[in-house]
A and B are shown apart, each in its own frame.
Chain A
Amino acid sequence: MSAVAPSRTFDVSGTSKVPFSRLVSVEMRKMADTRAGLWLLSIIGLITIAVIVIFFFVTSGNADDRTFINFLNITSTPLGFLLPVLGILLVTGEWGQRTTLTTFALEPSRMKVIAAKTVAALVYGVATLLLAVLVAAVAASIGGATDAWGGDEIVESAKMLLVIVMSILQGVAFGLVVLNSAGAIVLFFVLPIAFNLVANLWGWLNERAMWLDLATAQTPLLGMDPATGMPLSGNLTGEQWLNLASVTALWIVVPFVIGLVRVQRAEMK
């Protein structure tokens, strides 16, 4: 047998850490390289287009409703349902399939991996907003409304972006806390319903809903006054911003921190 010169020596001096941008692009790929993930991304895109098209046709008798802002805001409801699921699955997909064993073997910093997942989900969220803005703009241009571009489109788009970012972060946070796809999705949808049920029976809670309930606090972002249900536009009042900060702390920051601690301490099996 010919002797082989030892070529495999452990020497890390010439190696740098895995760059964060690379982790983000890998996490984005992970969302799209399974059937379930690809379906979810496709559905998010298709539904965004579909609700605008449907709104276009149901307003055929009243073309003045076909404003850019109306088209954009109509996408908020389906996106509010679907984007959190994307955030949840990006986290829980790993735990359910136990691919964390490989993921954390290649990048031992769990915080970096979670950060990369969060950024990846946000990139998809921004891409979805761009799609919604594009389709809404096309619909408004051909809709025939006399004042299709009458509002402050930039401000309304920014508010929509904030709703999307909050939805995704909440999804990631719930995913981190539960670490199980089905459980996190159920909790995400059931908790607000439970809150409303309790609030209906308990006046004290109902009066403080704008401080405690995410959906109530978000309604001004979607162009509606939470108290009166009347259309609302322009910037939020100071109190409405504080409402948003309150629900963000309660529904996003707290679960996110609990989830991070849980992941940091969890044993990978």
Chain B
Amino acid sequence: MISVQGLTKTYGGFTAVDDVSFTAEPGRVTGFLGPNGAGKTTTMRVLTGLTTASRGTATIGGMRYSDIPNPGLHVGVLLDASAQHAGRTGREVLTLSAKVMGLPARRVDEMLELVSLTGSESKRRVRNYSLGMRQRLGIANALLGDPSVLVLDEPANGLDPAGIHWMRGLLKTFADQGGTVLLSSHLLHEVEIIADEMVMIGNGRIVAQGTKQDMLAQAGGHGCFVTAEDGAQLRRALDGSGLAYAQAGEGFRVEAQPVQVGRLAVQAGIVLMDLRAADGGLERLFLELTAPTQREQLTEGAQA
């Protein structure tokens, strides 16, 4: 289990991470979501002992990272897929890690196969890798020691949609086996696809956390889209119901759960052609919650 408690990190007068607390449980994939510069990477660096906290603690299984013996065997870490020596081959990158951990060379081949890097690709120098290939190599590196915890910073960055779904399957299996996964992303849809739990961070502070359903409830519910065979009939029924609605294409967007609209349609004997929950509830929440940080984030990004 990953536990971050009251974590604060300041650089001079700038507070990168401000009293952040959350846990990532075994058996779950926890998504750490926030705009660039929100403090995700700093939190993960403290968690893996690469940066010291100003206040608070970050532990894995109750231990500080630096106290974990041969940590590669217990915690798989991917902080930046581009942080590899451009002159080494992909296979050599994994071989170095395997040697530090004391693993047989066979393990390198297994991992290359797992992330679908072919024999000839693995013999190319990392300089010639696409970002997606670097991510796959970084994930192979993180999984090399057969760890029980994964800490992945922006692992889906540079992956194509098929790659993102591949990663979802990989991490789902890992969590189903009892593993703990903490992954970060600045893109909501990535986290929505991959993660079970979400921790939303903006301007160094946690702004929301929980399952996707919890977060939606926090956002105050969300609407649905409905299209009827007879639009005018549906409009009359909606008018009569008192639900807020607006014209959307051929149908309407209604500020209510789909089940309410379905009931209304049955009562009025209306034939529906389409009824679905409106996406974007989380998106709106994400933008709202992180909006105060968006402008500052530009100047932070320029400094980095």
Contacts and interface: CB of A to CB of B under 8 A. Distances in A.
25 contacts: A6-B27, A8-B179, A10-B149, A10-B180, A11-B148, A12-B61, A12-B69, A12-B74, A16-B69, A17-B70, A18-B102, A29-B96, A33-B92, A34-B88, A36-B87, A97-B83, A97-B84, A98-B82, A101-B79, A102-B77, A104-B49, A105-B50, A105-B77, A108-B71, A268-B50
Nearest to A4: B176
A12 B63 contact: yes
Contacts of A34: 85, 87-88
Given A5-B177, A33-B96, 17 more contacts: A8-B147, A8-B177, A9-B178, A10-B26, A12-B61, A15-B74, A18-B102, A30-B96, A35-B87, A36-B87, A99-B83, A101-B83, A102-B77, A102-B83, A102-B93, A105-B75, A106-B71
Contact of B174 (A8, A12, A26, A107): A8
A155 B65 CA distance: 48
Contact of B100 (A10, A18, A33, A98): A18
B66 interface: yes
Given A12-B63, A99-B84, A268 B74 contact: no
Nearest to A7: B177
Contacts of B141: 102
Contact of A102 (B65, B97, B179): B97
Interface string B96-112: 11011110000000000
B47 to A, nearest CB: 11
A22 B61 contact: no
Contacts of B178: 6-9
A11 B75 CA distance: 11
A89 B74 CA distance: 30
Contacts of A29: 96, 99
A109 B179 CA distance: 25
Interface of B: 1, 26-27, 45, 48-51, 60-61, 63, 65-66, 68-75, 77, 79-80, 82-88, 92-93, 96-97, 99-102, 141, 147-149, 173-174, 176-180
Interface of A: 4-12, 15-18, 22-23, 25-26, 29-30, 33-36, 93, 97-99, 101-102, 104-109, 267-268
A10 B50 contact: no
B102 A22 contact: yes
Nearest to B144: A106
B49 A10 contact: no
A79 B82 CA distance: 34
A87 B71 CA distance: 27
Contacts of B68: 12, 108
Given A34-B88, A105-B48, A268-B50, A10 B71 contact: no
A10 B61 contact: yes
Contacts of B73: 15
A108 B109 CA distance: 26
Contacts of B179: 8
A21 to B, nearest CB: 11
Which of A4, A8, A17, A99 has the most CB atoms of chain B within a 10 A radius of its CB? A8
Given A22-B102, A26-B96, A108-B71, A10 B177 contact: no
Contact of B51 (A7, A106, A268): A268
B238 to A, nearest CB: 40
A260 to B, nearest CB: 16
B261 to A, nearest CB: 32
Contact of B177 (A4, A11, A101, A109): A4
Nearest to B153: A101
Contacts of A101: 50, 79-80, 83
A196 B295 CA distance: 53
Given A9-B148, A33-B92, A267 B66 contact: no
A86 to B, nearest CB: 16
A5 B80 CA distance: 32
Contacts of B1: 10
Contacts of A104: 49-50
A92 to B, nearest CB: 12
A8 B80 CA distance: 24
B99 A268 contact: no
A107 B79 contact: no
A34 B86 CA distance: 9
A33 to B, nearest CB: 5
B27 A105 contact: no
B62 to A, nearest CB: 9
A12 B69 CA distance: 7
B77 A9 contact: no
Contacts of B176: 4
A10 B69 contact: no
B71 A105 contact: yes
Which of A23, A93, A101 has the most CB atoms of chain B within a 10 A radius of its CB? A101
A4 B178 CA distance: 9
B141 to A, nearest CB: 7
Please provide the 10 A-B residue pairs with the shortest distance between their CB atoms, ordered closest to farther: A6-B178, A98-B83, A10-B61, A34-B87, A8-B179, A108-B66, A8-B148, A268-B50, A97-B85, A105-B77
